[in-house]
Structure 1
Amino acid sequence: MLDGRIMGLDIGDKTIGVAVSDIMGITAQGVKTIRRESKKKDIEELKNIIKERQVNKIVSGLPKNMNGT
């Protein structure tokens, strides 16, 4: 068993998609789409989710193609 959950981030220019795993790290559910306003607000929102969901690892996706797809 993990000592917390894994947060997955899909970081874009306008939004950040956030998903969090179950405690076993087997499945993940989308939990929020953050509309990007400023780095400070984005980080505060992510910190709140990390605390609420007991996240201990973060992974971030990269686009497969340069056009963002």
Structure 2
Amino acid sequence: MPDYPKEKKTLVRYLGFDFGEKRIGVATGQQTLGTTQALCVLKAENNQPNWQSVEALIKEWQVDAFVVGLPLNMDGTEQPVTLMAKKFAKRLHGRFGLPTFTHDERLSTAEVREYLFEMGGYKKIKDSDFDAYAAELILKSYFESGASAQG
């Protein structure tokens, strides 16, 4: 019997993360349609979320891959939290075995405020939800960059 090449899995559903030392924003997105949605904010202890909560989100949204925002300085250099975000991305991949990508999140805070203002004003959004919207914009930016087409 001939050995046929396995079909490459198309990455369709993603979870996006806005990593923070105390809070980690989470969003989901569907690559084919380019849609994104802020989901929740997970509390972090020692730079880690409750992994069972992450696993529940993976199952609920049936995700194929992860995108973790990479906090860089404006000149593109790394900062201490950049290394923590990279470590978080490695842990995600190691625990769940799904493709994990990082994406530049410079300016995401300003963009989140602008985005929320367009949606009716960011003052209506609780501070605790802000990181979930940041995760949504990271994922939206990742899709728009065309990087997800490589998945």
Pairwise CA distance, 1:33: 0.5
2:66 match: 58
Output the amino acid matched with 1:7: L
> Quick check: 1:7–1:19 contact (8 Å CA) kept in 2?
yes
1:42 is the counterpart of 2:58: no
Q: Take 1:44 and 1:25, find their aligned partners in 2: how far apart are those partners?
A: 28
In structure 2, relative to structure 1, the CA distance for the partners of 1:3 and 1:61 (3 Å cut) is closer
| TM-score normalised by L of structure 1 | 0.76
Higher RCO, 1 vs 2 (CA within 8 Å, ≥6 residues apart): 1
Q: Take 1:13 and 1:7, find their aligned partners in 2: how far apart are those partners?
A: 18
Output the amino acid matched with 2:38: G
Q: Return 5+ residue gaps in structure 1 as ranges.
A: none
Structure showing the higher strand proportion among its residues: 1
- Listed one character per residue, the Cα deviations across residues 30-54 of structure 1 (whole Å, up to 9, x for unaligned) are 1011112464x52111110000001
Pairwise CA distance, 1:67: 7.8
Q: Return 5+ residue gaps in structure 2 as ranges.
A: 1-9, 74-78, 82-105, 107-151
> Quick check: 1:6–1:25 contact (8 Å CA) kept in 2?
no
In structure 2, relative to structure 1, the CA distance for the partners of 1:20 and 1:29 (3 Å cut) is same
In structure 2, relative to structure 1, the CA distance for the partners of 1:25 and 1:17 (3 Å cut) is farther
Structure showing the higher helix proportion among its residues: 2
Across the aligned residues of Structure 1 and Structure 2, the Cα RMSD in angstroms comes to: 2.5
2:29 match: 21
| TM-score normalised by L of structure 2 | 0.38
Instruction: Give identity over the alignment, percent.
Output: 33
In structure 2, relative to structure 1, the CA distance for the partners of 1:63 and 1:3 (3 Å cut) is closer
> Quick check: 1:7–1:20 contact (8 Å CA) kept in 2?
yes
